[in-house]
Structure 1
């Protein structure tokens, strides 16, 4: 079949994400099979009630065929009251079990959707920290929101309805074989046409729907970015360029929309022709058989009615299978996290001390491009180390390696002799914590937000943690104290208060080593100074690695490491480095004007 060609590939158009992986066909099939095994009881019940409903629907053609047969033979006793009574009973049974089919199908779909959400969340929180750090929260959130929304209809409707359609078709064909065996072969006349049309369509549809979804995502991204950066766009007079980009993305998306619409416009007429062909073949072949005496007129009537009834289940299968082509893209994105090995680590590995050592570390975000090269560093327990250097030198990357977020490509980062990358993530977090500018307050009570750090903490310990960061004053002034609802829709916290909650969690978790990535840089100066005083009490007695974007942080450190071009170029106390008149001294002079 020849028709509209798919839109030409444009290298400017995004096609695949390079963050979290998208599941392969094998992974998707394995997960679907696992879901069906979990819910096999509900699945078998759905099949059973559907079978009863279909069998009840076959009573009508069978009764009518028998009535026609008796009339054709000139029978005087037609048993109309009995026939009508049985027909009414069959309709009643069919109505009751069709209701059960819908109910059981909806329940099965909702349970499977709930399992899908839960499986994705459980698997996501078990991912290695470095994977999520590189991927960012945007990709993860889009999967649990947008992709789940796209899948909701498919899980609630498509899977149950496909099951219904398959069982319905199989039983109707079985009924046709039992009541009019010669006519069963007539149905096969249209099968090659249906298979050819479906094969043509389904070879093109999956990739087309994936491109359509990617095109829509590109449109949304372009528009959202333009709106969010509206002032920047206006200041730099980028309006025309952003409009041109949006129009290009819309053009690419609508081209794929037209292509998928064209695919459906070819498939549906083929399906309709198939239905007509089946009925025509049954009537023509059956008519010849009746004339030759090989088939009764009643059997022909029953067979023709059953053949006509095949229209609905076949249409149901094709409709929802088509829907699943769209949903399969989102399902592949959701189960893609199953292809990432969880960070199990060596459970027997535990630090024998608190000293930290990086030995000839190499690390890069892309293959063949190292951000850090030959970095070696020793941090004694209780030391305050500051990492300084120009933007892009690798300070934050080194900090995340020391926090166990990333694993080095080459070399090792060890805590107390135990390699961080080989330890379970939970054990690493018990010893080392990363504190950065990002802080989150979860929707719930203040108590629940604090218990995230240590679930067994009592109220006295919670108040002590708040007091340690100077947060107990405003917290005690809350109407319901620790039971006050905070977060979205609750008590509105200032950025400084939200950061204090994050620091109180840190006090409760009580790690002996902290990696600080300018935890106060996003606050106004007055709030930052107040929080730094609170932070100083939290840091007392702990090993601290501070990524210093502002040099007054470095001034108070015991040791300063200057990171340049992915290497440590200078190492020593503040006064020694200033006296050496090297890179640090130049940074210090430029900082103080």
Structure 2
């Protein structure tokens, strides 16, 4: 239990008051007029319920031959009372159904507003903040953390409203029968309300821990599905299954941790209701025996206490649901408020390739002591291509991510032209610095729509020219095989999967259409098979030409044609120069090149 409560959530839920204020700003918010109408409807519903309880209670007097006000005595009075009780029950059921419908439809509309805000915030928030949350966390907050509270509140909303009105009305009705029933209710409230508040207040941390662990499980599931082919190819299926089982078991444990808190509330509800009914029954019997009230009046008071028993159980049960729902909505609201407009420096877009200057750049991942990049200094000359070479873990991809704004440096600056990217919005960085990584995303829809994500006004001819430039001419075999319907071919999710090299060619075509002045290729052609490697290399050289380009080289033939080669090790630059100079120097690059090419170039 301690482990679950201590679970770290990268984005804490918004407090209840803040959540309610945020939801109140929606176009479909719960207006004052809506609340007045809903309260009025429930007041009529409550009147029907109290009328039913009182009529059933006074029917005892009718059976005993005691005169009942208005209806009198005898069989006729009993039939009138039964008829009134049935009518009140029927009207109450109709009003309850209407209230459930009104609440449900209103909450559904509000959920659309909240999901829209969450999506907008995710798209506009700083990329490092979104990446810190993780895909599973974002998706959980945008879906489950909104849909579940909406479903819960739609089901219990009317009963919660009824419950809030039921207690004061019931206590008032019992007090009218005899003031001592009101004193009894007050004594019970003084004893049990503080206990209830303390136990209910323990629920939010447990609920948030459960939601955070569920988000981790969802992220693991998405990661497994995306990498399914890789897991199979490298026979990591057992490892992936074990990882999924571990996350699922953690989510199950988090849910189980919460169960004792709920059970404790239900036991408390049972205690409160039992004490109230027994006390009301005993008090009613004493008052009747001493001729303070009639048996029918005592029966009516007991009926009201019995009806309140259900509401007490509902109170505890619903408060648990409300706490869980508000915690989940708080997680969604926190995501919706992740992006806050700031007065960041606005800079004009680049009009030509610019120098990229890195000074004192440091970066450390959370929970690590050693920096991945310790005080790096580097300048990429405008219009040149620089290749990064080094073993896995040397810091190449980290540097690429920092330059593209996917990560925030721990210290130091990155300047593109005369613009410090830390001082401008992610929008500016995304417009002016383009990153293509090994993980290529294909947008769902027609191929034409996918390409126009980079250039919305591009004509079909321009789209086909870009594809041809990266090795997919319209009349070529590869194009016809991959895109049988041409630009109308459906691609992405739900369509026939494309070969990895075709996906990379689409990504490179987007670069030509986007025409950025600064380009980063992070192993963007490393997935190619040997028969397609040359085509992709030629395409990569084409898209880097005339731009300030940084290429994280997976194969050294990418480095050979670069204007400059930088060799990294443990986040530091250990060699810097052109291919021929580094080979002649006989250092680390020469050794790597010799092993890669099968020749000794160190001579």
Shift of 1:153: 3.8
2:117 and 2:336 in contact (8 A); partners too: no
Q: 1:146 to 1:95 in 2, by over 3 A?
A: closer
Q: 1:339 to 1:551 in 2, by over 3 A?
A: same
**3-state DSSP class of the match of 1:310?**
helix
RMSD: 4.0
Residue 428 of structure 1 is matched in structure 2 by 429
2:64 maps to 1:59: no
User: What is the rounded CA distance, in whole Å, between the counterparts of 2:389 and 2:207 in structure 1?
Assistant: 48
Q: 1:339 to 1:372 in 2, by over 3 A?
A: farther
- Pick the aligned partner of 2:494 from 489, 494, 498: 489
Matches within 5 A, 1:132-147: 132-144=130-142, 147=145
Q: For each residue in 1:500-555, what CA deviation from the matched residue of structure 2 results, as whole angstroms up to 9, or x when unmatched?
A: 33223323322111011011112322233223333333333222111112211111
- Which deviates more, 109-118 or 407-416? 109-118
Matches within 5 A, 1:13-412: 16-17=7-8, 20-23=10-13, 26=15, 28-36=16-24, 38=26, 39-41=29-31, 42-65=34-57, 71-73=65-67, 75-76=72-73, 79=77, 83=81, 86-144=84-142, 147=145, 151=149, 153-158=151-156, 161-178=159-176, 180-191=178-189, 194-195=192-193, 198-199=196-197, 201-202=199-200, 204-208=202-206, 260-327=258-325, 330-331=328-329, 333-337=331-335, 340=338, 342=340, 344=342, 346-350=344-348, 354-366=354-366, 369-412=370-413
1:349 and 1:422 in contact (8 A); partners too: no
1:194 and 1:271 in contact (8 A); partners too: no
User: What is the rounded CA distance, in whole Å, between the counterparts of 1:208 and 1:468 in structure 2?
Assistant: 56
Q: 1:215 to 1:513 in 2, by over 3 A?
A: closer
2:537 maps to 1:567: no
Aligned length: 578
Shift of 1:164: 4.1
Q: For each residue in 1:98-120, what CA deviation from the matched residue of structure 2 results, as whole angstroms up to 9, or x when unmatched?
A: 11122123223423433443333
Shift of 1:325: 4.6
2:519 maps to 1:529: no
User: What is the rounded CA distance, in whole Å, between the counterparts of 1:421 and 1:189 in structure 2?
Assistant: 62
User: What is the rounded CA distance, in whole Å, between the counterparts of 2:313 and 2:120 in structure 1?
Assistant: 37
Shift of 1:220: 8.8
TM-score normalized with structure 1 length: 0.83
Shift of 1:194: 4.1
1:350 and 1:418 in contact (8 A); partners too: no
Q: For each residue in 1:397-446, what CA deviation from the matched residue of structure 2 results, as whole angstroms up to 9, or x when unmatched?
A: 11222223333322211112110111111111111111001112233232
User: What is the rounded CA distance, in whole Å, between the counterparts of 2:5 and 2:267 in structure 1?
Assistant: 33
- Which deviates more, 466-475 or 396-405? 466-475
1:110 and 1:155 in contact (8 A); partners too: no
Shift of 1:29: 3.9
Shift of 1:566: 1.9
Q: For each residue in 1:447-488, what CA deviation from the matched residue of structure 2 results, as whole angstroms up to 9, or x when unmatched?
A: 332332244444444344334434452667746543433223
Q: 1:117 to 1:303 in 2, by over 3 A?
A: same
2:51 and 2:88 in contact (8 A); partners too: yes
**3-state DSSP class of the match of 1:198?**
helix
Residue 451 of structure 1 is matched in structure 2 by 452
2:523 and 2:554 in contact (8 A); partners too: yes
2:136 and 2:218 in contact (8 A); partners too: no
Q: Which runs of 5+ in 2 are unaligned?
A: 599-603
**3-state DSSP class of the match of 1:273?**
helix
User: What is the rounded CA distance, in whole Å, between the counterparts of 1:577 and 1:90 in structure 2?
Assistant: 93
Residue 416 of structure 2 is matched in structure 1 by 415
User: What is the rounded CA distance, in whole Å, between the counterparts of 2:284 and 2:558 in structure 1?
Assistant: 92
Shift of 1:242: 9.1
Shift of 1:262: 4.5
